[in-house]
Amino acid sequence: MKRSLKLLLIIFLSSTSLMLSQTNKKVKMDKNFTHVVYFWLKNPEKTEDRKAFETSLKKFMKNSKYAQTKFIGVPANTPREVVDNSFTYSLILSFPSREVQDLYQHEDAHLLFIKESEHLWKKVQVYDSVGID
């Protein structure tokens, strides 16, 4: 009985330690090239449009060969004069270089996302930037 309890305790502590180490891993944004996209859906109040858009966008993110950091967001509703909360979704991607971002623009996953979702949006705004030291 004592031996079983020790073994159980060791397994518990090991699995807890592994979970904590995986939870605390930080994803480092690649500062070489950042691609920020804002989407305004035609019908943002329609649940089925939002679901279709999110499904397509998540599929695209899962299948993108080139995007490193991948973030999908919605407005944080921070009511300050300098903040634009009018968009429906945001997408932030990072790439190791402009050349890799150019490849991403033509990859099948990206083109399929556009084909599946462009009928859902009324406006898309993109901001690309490169990092400084």
* This prediction's pTM: 0.76
Q: How confident is the model at residue 42, as a pLDDT? A: 98
Cα separation of 124 and 118, whole Å? 9
Biggest CA pair distance of the chain: 67
Average pLDDT in the 24-49 region?
85
| CA 89/CA 123 separation, integer angstroms | 11
| Residues with Cβ within 8 Å of residue 36, at least 6 apart in sequence | 90, 91, 92, 93, 126, 127, 128, 129
Q: What angle do CA 28, 64, 101 make, to 5 degrees?
A: 70
Q: What is the pLDDT of residue 18?
A: 43
pLDDT at 108 over 50: yes
90 versus 6: which is more confidently predicted?
Answer: 90
Whether 98 shows a pLDDT value over 60: the answer reads yes
CB-CB contact of 89 with 72 (8 Å): yes
pLDDT at residue 8 greater than cutoff 50: no
Give the pLDDT of residue 31.
72
Q: Which amino acid is at 1?
A: M
Which among 11-15, 18-22, 37-41, 76-80 has the top mean pLDDT?
Answer: 37-41
Domain 33-129, classified CATH 3.30.70.100, yes or no: yes
pLDDT digits (tens, 9 = 90+) for 39-71: 999 999 999 999 999 999 999 999 999 998 899
